[in-house]
Amino acid sequence: MGSPAGENEDFNISAARELTIAELAGLIWEACGEDPRELRLKHLPTFEVDVQRRWPSVQKARDLLGWEARVELRDGSPARSPGCASRSSRDERRESTRRGRL
């Protein structure tokens, strides 16, 4: 722990701005090397007791630790996921191999 003020405390850690699930899915889709125009989401009806909005407050982290997000989610996530990066590379190799055989 970098600050004694954080000992025995819990904190919400969140992006600097609110995102919808659709926006988050789009960021992940693009980070995995997919064409954003090809993303298809199926919107389902919400549950009667479904949470409509969730964006945790980071005020406690800001007050006690002086912490706040400095990197936008988009800048901190693209293809930084080994699973996405390796899948994207594998798909590119497969596609270039397929084109070479035609």
74: amino acid identity, one letter: R
Asked, for residue 1, whether it belongs to a domain, the answer is no
Q: DSSP assignment, residue 37? A: G
Residue 25's closest CA among 14, 13, 39? 39
Domain count of the chain?
Answer: 1
Residue 93 lies in a domain: yes
Residue-range definition of the domain harbouring residue 93: 8-47+54-101
Distance separating alpha carbons of residues 48 and 40, to the nearest angstrom: 25
Is residue 2 one of the residues assigned to a domain? no
Domain for residue 43, yes or no? yes
- Output the tens digit of pLDDT for each of the chain's 102 residues: 577 888 889 888 887 788 888 998 998 888 888 898 999 999 888 888 877 777 788 899 999 998 888 887 777 765 555 666 555 555 655 555 555 544
